[in-house]
Amino acid sequence: MPTFVSHAAVPLALGAGLGEEAIPRRLLAAGAVASLLPDLDVVGLRLGVPYASALGHRGASHSLAFALAVAALGAALHGPLRCRARTAFLFLLAAAASHGLLDAFTNGGLGVAILWPLSDARWFAPVRPIHVAPLGLHGLRVRGVALLVSEAIWVWAPCAALALVLAWRRRSARREGGDAV
């Protein structure tokens, strides 16, 4: 997995690129939380849940079904998030689903159960350039610099590019008198 900080890069990039009018601050904060929620499954490791089980690390909580559930909950709570239900659903779906997808691009672990409950099979992306972050703090101290460089190149730089493109399109649409992205 990338570090927990880098999982928030996707919703932060979308929020920055689409602007506060499209993604209010409360929704942006909820998106950052949604992007981190799948890793709560590490609590199961401490409770004896095997890593490779459906409820283990990178299992059900990293699936598209889990992302859909998070998005549905966000849509139901769209009022306090200060947005339309559709906006909350789509943004939180992207935020939560990005977690498992980013993990699939890492060079370690057992893969991601992205299609759970339809399949317990673990999946990796065809290319795996992101250095996997260790589950404990000790490994982070040992591999910290290489991990941060990897995430800067493969997570933060593409997210920054996405934010810039979305912001440019939003500003262009505004200048032309059309709707924002």
CB 103 within 8 A of CB 62: yes
Task: Examine residue 180 and state whether it is found in any structural domain, yes or no.
Answer: no
Number of domains, the chain: 1
pLDDT tens track for 105-145: 999 999 999 999 999 999 999 999 999 987 765 545 556 78
Q: What letter does residue 112 receive in the DSSP assignment?
A: B
Quote the tokens at residue 144: 């910290």
Residue 47 lies in a domain: yes
Query: Using alpha carbons only, how large is the chain's radius of gyration in Å?
Result: 17
Domain coverage including residue 148: 4-175
Average pLDDT over residues 152-169: 97
Q: Is 92 exposed, middle or buried (0-12, 13-18, 19+ CB in 10 A)?
A: buried
pLDDT in tens, 22-43: 999 999 999 999 999 999 999 9
